[in-house]
Amino acid sequence: MATNQTQDGEMDDVDLVSEVEEDEEQEWGDWNTDDDDGEGDGLGSDLLLCLFCDLKYGSSEALFEHCNSTHRFDFGGIRKTLELDFYGCFKLINYIRSQAAENRCWSCGFTCQSKQDLQNHAHEAFSFKDTVLPWGDDRYLKPFMQEDPLLYSFGEDWEVEDEDTTSDNKITELIDFERICIDDDNTVEGPLFDFNTASENGRAESASAFNSCLNGMNPYQEVKVSSVDVNKSGLPSDMNSTNKDLEVSFAKVEANEIKNVNKNYFGLYSSFGIHREMISDKVRTDAYRQALLNNPSLLRGATVLDVGCGTGILSLFASQAGASSVIAVEASEKMAAVATQIAKDNCLLCSGGPSEGTSQGTGVMKVVQGMVEELGNCELIQPHSIDVLLSEWMGYCLLYESMLSSVLLARDRWLKPGGAILPDTATMFVAGFGKGGTSIPFWETVYGFNMSCIGKELVEDAARVPIVDIIDSGDIVTNTVVLQSFDLVKMTPDEMDFTSRIELEPLTENPTHYSSDSLCKTTWCYGIVLWFETGFTSRFCKDMPIVLSTSPYTPKTHWSQTILTFREPIAISLGSTASDTLAAVGTDACPAVKVHLRISIARAASPHRSIDISLEIAGIAPDGRKRSWPVQIFNLS
């Protein structure tokens, strides 16, 4: 809301009150609903903007009728088919506006060159039945467009099945949260619903304070959200007839979810079975052991912090390597007690430590129970007092579980300037896999019977859900490309969310996938496989650098690999195959010589600790023609 300010830059309260009173006198009946073509200067700012073009309408019924007839978007039909409730429709509208702002088809994910091309691209919506809805993420509860009246009027024309549940009630639920105040040192002041200016097609021109709060903050950061006047912040004034400030706090919902997920997460790690699996992973455990025991110039006499110690195995190695002090931090109360007992039983527990009981040894190891995020005032760990920060934080697809943010927080809070992080690098890789990487071959012949229908159905399911499994290196059909690299010494938590563009080409070193006919060197790529390596590099491990790899070309680990299956396989060729210039790229008649991928990985808003992966695919023909496939969305949780 525009406010008058004095020359000193302070708000003129009298003028502000007058302006608010003047605004409240305006009735909804003042809207100009006659000029539906969206032209001229007489348009009211509260007319409903089409989801796909610049036309405006006076009612949601008229707008959705236009969307159906012109843009082939049947809002009512989709709502009924998918049984969307108010929140589902609310998120769908915000999702479509966000996609249209990028000239991207909301249904198939195809990116057009212009707004007009997007309108020409309009087609019937794909079936989302029994699939993860791309707008299901709670981030779409945040209005994409400033002051979007469609968000509080789209329910005015539909039949309300539950008389006690109206759109007004739902809007009130969205905004009427009580204020949350967790930590006075982390406060976000100001109107969170100031979405700044937006263009006609709904593209946000600048990030708001609200966006910074919800999307930019550390997942564990504690937030205090002050009361917010939302009378002119995208909601109608008649919803605030008492002129009270409405308190907005989506952060409370997030905080409660994080608390519950963390409780379940650390409860899972209280089971000894998962620790046996990790310790039994020889590739994993030996890599850490060698990095610690074979680098005496780094460990001898050092103060070591082990983040997420579990049984304390890495802390035991550090103690054995000659560290002068080892502080093992573990969030699980049960496992912290277990690690303490193990250190005591091996005469490595430091007497006078925080644990109960007496120790016969004069060890160097101390165990601290609690999350890193909750230990800011821990007297045992002084700021910037740690020589070596140690952690085994990696999850499936490297970033699942989002523990890396805890390591980075510990780094910034406790590591000495120039201190070491083990491991200090992480790299993600991607390659394409063939038919053998799917379950199709198994079901093609089962004791002489054809059960291929099962394999086909399983592949269809795999195109919606990521699979964590071992891929045989012989099933890789493309080159291997670096997807993303992380330097744990320098990176920020925001870098955990990224988008990378890569190019895959058919693998020439493995001819077993190709036809014996020299004129036909075509194979099929059924999807991509992701894996990672972490490095204990010579930056800190000068005596013996170590690499921990989860590659399909190296011995298997408990991390396996992460498999993302295409909706349909893509024919790829070594490039010398004659192709039909009229055939679709990626088919047997016109194999692709390159596959372009745009892969985005981000920490999911819900559930906490999971990650979202989006996959955009394009095949390139020998003559340069390009074919794009609908975007695929995966959630690893």
pLDDT for position 579: 66
**CATH assignment of the domain containing 306:** 3.40.50.150
Task: Work out whether the CA dihedral 113, 118, 119, 120 comes out positive or negative.
Answer: positive
Instruction: Give the bridge partners for 329, in sequence order.
Output: 307, 368
401 an active-site residue?
yes
Q: Which residue has the tokens 């739902």?
A: 170
- Pair 253, 314 in one domain: no
Environment class of 159 (CB within 10 Å of its CB; exposed 0-12, middle 13-18, buried 19+): exposed
Residues 48 and 156 in one domain: yes
Query: Is 333 part of any domain?
Result: yes
DSSP string, 399-444: TTT-THHHHHHHHHHHEEEEEEEES-EEEEEEEEE-GGGSSHHHHH
CATH number of the domain where residue 563 is located: 2.70.160.11
Nearest-angstrom CA–CA distance, 532 and 551 = 7
pLDDT for 448-489, tens place per residue? 999 999 988 898 889 999 999 999 999 999 999 999 999 999
- Write down the catalytic residue from 392, 505, 533, 616: 392
Angle, CA of 134, 140 and 145, to the nearest 5°: 120
In a shared domain, residues 145 and 183: yes
- Regarding whether 145 and 91 lie in a shared domain, the answer is yes
Alpha carbons 432 and 477: distance in angstroms, whole number: 6
Closest by CA position to 228, among listed 169, 188, 274: 188
Sign of CA dihedral 507, 513, 515, 518: positive
Give the pLDDT score at 346. 96
- Full domain range(s) for residue 332: 269-392
- Indicate whether 150 belongs to any domain: yes
CA distances from residue 233 to 150, 228, 293 in whole angstroms, order as listed: 14, 9, 59
Q: Is 173 a catalytic residue?
A: no
Selected catalytic residue, list 330, 401, 505, 533:
401
238 and 329, same domain (yes or no):
no
Q: At what angle do helices 313-320 and 333-345 cross, to 10 degrees?
A: 30
Whole-number Cα distances in Å, 443 to 393, 446, 469, 486, 526: 37, 6, 18, 40, 16
Domain count, the chain: 3
- Last residue of one domain, picked from the residues 368, 392, 416: 392
Whether 440 is in a domain gets the answer yes
Is 49 domain-assigned? yes
For residues 155 and 247, membership in a common domain is answered with yes
- Pair (356, 327) in one structural domain: yes
Choose among 606, 531, 588: nearest CA to 621: 588
Residues 246, 176 contacting (CB under 8 angstroms): yes
Does residue 347 form part of some domain?
yes
475: Cα within 13 Å, side-chain hemisphere: 20
- Same domain (yes/no): 99, 126: yes
Residue 572 DSSP SS3 = strand
Backbone dihedral region for residue 239 (phi beyond 0: left; psi -120 to 50: alpha; all else: beta): alpha
Measured CA to CA, the distance from residue 315 to residue 344 in angstroms comes to: 13
Same domain, 285 and 224: no
What is the per-residue pLDDT for 28?
39
Residue 603 lies inside a defined structural domain of this protein: yes
Report the pLDDT value the prediction gives residue 509, as an integer from 0 to 100. 63
Question: What per-residue confidence (pLDDT) applies to 250?
Answer: 47
Neighbouring CB atoms inside 10 A of 481's CB total 17
* Res 137: pLDDT: 83
On whether both 41 and 181 belong to a single domain, the answer is yes
Give the end of a domain, one of 201, 227, 260.
Answer: 260
Which of helix, strand or coil describes residue 56? strand
Q: Looking only at Cα atoms, what is the longest distance across the chain?
A: 88
Q: What is the pLDDT of residues 437-448, one digit of tens each?
A: 999 999 999 999
**Residue where a domain stops, chosen among 238, 260, 282:** 260
Distance from C-alpha of 414 to C-alpha of 384, rounded to nearest angstrom: 4
- Domain contains 7: no
Segments of the chain with pLDDT less than 70: 1-45, 130, 155-271, 352-362, 509-520, 575-579, 606-608
| Cα-to-chain-centroid distance, residue 25 | 44
Which residue type does 131 have?
A: T
Q: Is residue 413 a part of any domain in this protein?
A: no
Same domain, yes or no, for 251 and 291? no
Where would I find the beta strands (DSSP E) of 270-364? 303-307, 325-330
Q: Which amino acid is at 511?
A: P
192 shares its domain with 273: no
In the chain, the amino acid numbered 380 is L
Q: Any idea which residue has 């020359």 for tokens? A: 7
Strand partners, 428: 484, 532
Which conformational region is residue 398 in: left (phi greater than 0), alpha (psi within -120 to 50 degrees), or beta? left
Residue 493: is the preceding peptide bond cis (ω within 30°)?
no
Cβ–Cβ under 8 Å, residues 393 and 307: yes
Mean of per-residue pLDDT scores for the chain: 78
Tell me how many degrees the CA angle 103-109-114 measures, rounded to the nearest 5. Answer: 20
Task: Say which DSSP state 47 is in.
Answer: S
Residue 125 is classified by DSSP as P
241 in helix, strand or coil?
A: coil
